Structure 1
Amino acid sequence: MNFEFQYIYFIWLSAGVLLFLFLFSLVKRWKKRTIRKIGEPALVKSMIRGYSPFRFNLKFFLLCLAFLMGVLCTMSLRKPGGNDGIQRKGIDVVFALDLSKSMLAQDVKPSRLLFAKQFISKMMDAMPNNRVGLVWFAGKAYIQMPISADHSSAQMYVNDASPDVVPVKGTVIGDALEESLRSFGEREAKYKAVILISDGEDHDEKALELSKDLQKRGLMVNTVGIGSPEGTFIPDDSTGGNKLDPQTGRPIVSKLNQKELEQIAVNTNGVYVHLTDIDAAVKKITQQLAQIDKKVTGDTNLMSFSYYFWIFAAAMVLLLVIEQLLPEGKKAKT
């Protein structure tokens, strides 16, 4: 990999040379005006016979060059070194996890949500070369972690995921897909996939329409349905019982909506998995992801670098020393 500047945006500081040139021109004009005011040419020549315009200009040039070396030092030239996470051949995968209250249902033990979190953990273990991102959604979707090769941080976010993180009620799968696409940070969706885990309880026509557009852009969406088609009650921690329908007063039964999740997967060339066996689900989705062309990805947060700013710092100090030692007057004749 080639050299690069860590803080390239500091290049604007080099514009300071223009200020120096302006001040230098003012000094030159002042000198000329002063000479003209003296008037007598012979007297002027006698007074400035030891002055060297060349050395005066050279000292200014050395100062400007030293300043530019300082700017380059600030920009911090570096080069990646070693093999610890510099480049990985893989794809970018976003996990979109449903955190709606229905995910607390216990038709899957210990609960739909805890079972889904176990699946995500094993899925990340099965694809160490892939970068991952996280999107949480319920009645609202947002990016929890942008695309990164830092699986350990992703695991911490997964462990802490709960319905309390997204207090808005509902299951907006369409918004989750939009946020997943946005988290990639690029318009190009090649080498990218989404793994959406949900009970799909709310019907979201927007998600079905959006999935067709995602397929055209090359994004694969693999869907994971969790829960049972027969459904079960949703625990209510505030009462210790089950959540009740505010209109009828009866316990709410949450059922897995497989049809919508299956259609999203079909529309985007992905696969649908009913999550009952974690190892089997990981194997099936891993095989599907393997069909996506791999590319070399890098994460600068995990790279080790060799830094070369000291070269410019040394050059700056050397130029300043030379400028100070260089006399402004002409060399005396012997």
Structure 2
Amino acid sequence: MFEGIEFLHKEMFWLLLLLLPAVAWYIFKHKKQTAEIKISTIKGFKTSKSVWPVLRHLMFVLRLAALGLLIIALARPQTVDVSTKTKKTEGIDIMIAVDISASMLAKDLKPNRLEALKEVASDFVKQRPNDRIGIVEYAGESYTKTPLTSDKSIVLSAISDIKYTGIVEGGTAIGMGLATAVNRLKDSNAKSKVVILLTDGVNNTGEIDPTIATELALEFGIKVYGVGIGTNGMALSPVAIRQDGSFVYERVQVEIDDDLLTKIANDTGGKYFRATDNQSLSDIYDEINELETTEIEERKFYNYEEKFRPYAIAALCLIIFEFLLRHTVFRSFI
């Protein structure tokens, strides 16, 4: 009955409590006004049952109903239609550079580093609805998997499709991965330009030195957040490929160039993180998400539609109906 209706003056409903003493008063008054005669027996009288004495109470019920409807009308029932207008300021352009070398299949993160990264990166993208995001893949060389786009379905599909194929030249070219991401951001007019550089190794190949790539990022005002993925110590990592294409795993020493990644992040105004397990990787993305915020101006418009009139009209109709009954059908009972 009241679905979708709000009441402006809810305190008016306390008046409904007045109906209880009104009912008590009516019962008391009815007993006082009813004449009684006491006789020893009614065997000599012809008796008949009539509904009219009972129906006369209908007038009191109509009054109570009318009073209840008036109280509801006084509570100001109304529906509210809320429309939202969002004005988006200049957002943030983010390139995620992902290391897809064979070492990313190490199982110190579950089920492996690459799959753990994909899951967390997807959650990160979903939390950035107002930013443009692109994906770069690199190993011994680098390429753009997805250019900057505001279509999150494309980005999420690209992240889901990231996998080790062995097609890209082996090794870890951190400088190449960073330079490719910078190249995609250098012409951006966004208020903030960010590269999230993810790797689990050291720079051991590539035509562009990481120092040069860092200088390019600095020149174009691009901030770099470095993320080193891998546990401290030994990790179960792929060391060879069998004839059937499956990997041979052995425990090997984890080597991540923390110093290089820290310098890249510090020089560009970013920050370096080390993810040693799935939870710390998730926490890193949460922190980056908080560090890089997009301002959004939201305006809400409220359209109120008053609904008290039907209740007031219904109450008036009940009063008129009670008045007509009192002066016509039940006139002889008054």
Please tell me the TM-score bracket, short chain as reference: 0.5 to 0.7
Hey, what does 1:114 align to over in structure 2? 115
The alignment's TM-score, normalised by the length of structure 2, stands at 0.55
Contact 1:141 1:175 (8 Å CA) reproduced? yes
Alpha-carbon spacing, 1:201–1:243, altered in 2? closer, same or farther (3 Å) = farther
1:242 aligns with 2:245: no
Give the structure with the higher percent helix.
Answer: 1
Match of 2:71 in 1: none
Q: CA deviation at 1:282?
A: 2.0
Structure 1 residues 217 and 114, CA gap change in structure 2 (3 angstroms): same
Residue 157 of structure 1 aligns with which residue? 158
**How far apart are the structure 1 equivalents of 2:89 and 2:285?**
21
Corresponding position of 1:140 = 141
**3-state secondary structure, aligned to 1:163:** coil
Identity among equivalent positions (%) equals 27
Q: TM-score, normalised by structure 1?
A: 0.55
CA–CA separation in structure 2 for the residues paired with 1:109 and 1:197: 17
Does residue 1:286 correspond to 2:289, yes or no?
A: yes
Structure 1 residue ranges without an equivalent (≥5)? 1-82, 245-250, 297-334
Answer yes or no: is 1:231 the counterpart of 2:237.
Answer: no
Partner of 2:213: 210
Inter-partner Cα distance in structure 1 for 2:229 and 2:94: 19
Counterpart CA distance in 2 for 1:219 and 1:241 is: 38
1:146-180 C-alpha deviation (Å, 9 max, x unpaired): 11001111111111111217431011111111111
Q: CA offsets per residue over residues 11-64 of structure 1, 9 Å max, x none? A: xxxxxxxxxxxxxxxxxxxxxxxxxxxxxxxxxxxxxxxxxxxxxxxxxxxxxx
2:106/2:235 contact within 8 Å kept: yes
Aligned mates of 2:190, 2:153 — CA distance in 1? 25
CA distance in 2 between partners of 1:223 and 1:148 (Å):
22
Against the structure 1 CA distance between its residues 84 and 159, is the aligned structure 2 distance closer, same or farther, given a 3 Å change threshold? farther
Query: What is the rounded CA distance, in whole Å, between the counterparts of 1:254 and 1:215 in structure 2?
Result: 29
Task: Evaluate the alpha carbon distance shift between residue 151 and residue 180 of structure 1 in structure 2; reply closer, same or farther with a 3 A threshold.
Answer: same
Maintained 8 Å contact 1:146/1:183: yes
- CA RMSD in angstroms, aligned pairs only: 3.1
Give the secondary structure class of the aligned counterpart of 1:108: coil
* CA distance in 2: counterparts of 1:198 and 1:258, whole angstroms: 10
Q: Is the 8 A contact 1:189 1:217 kept in 2?
A: no
CA distance, structure 2, for counterparts of residue 241 and residue 131 of structure 1 = 36
Aligned partners of 1:90 and 1:294 also within 8 Å: yes
Match of 1:267 in 2: 267
Q: Return the offset for 1:91.
A: 0.7
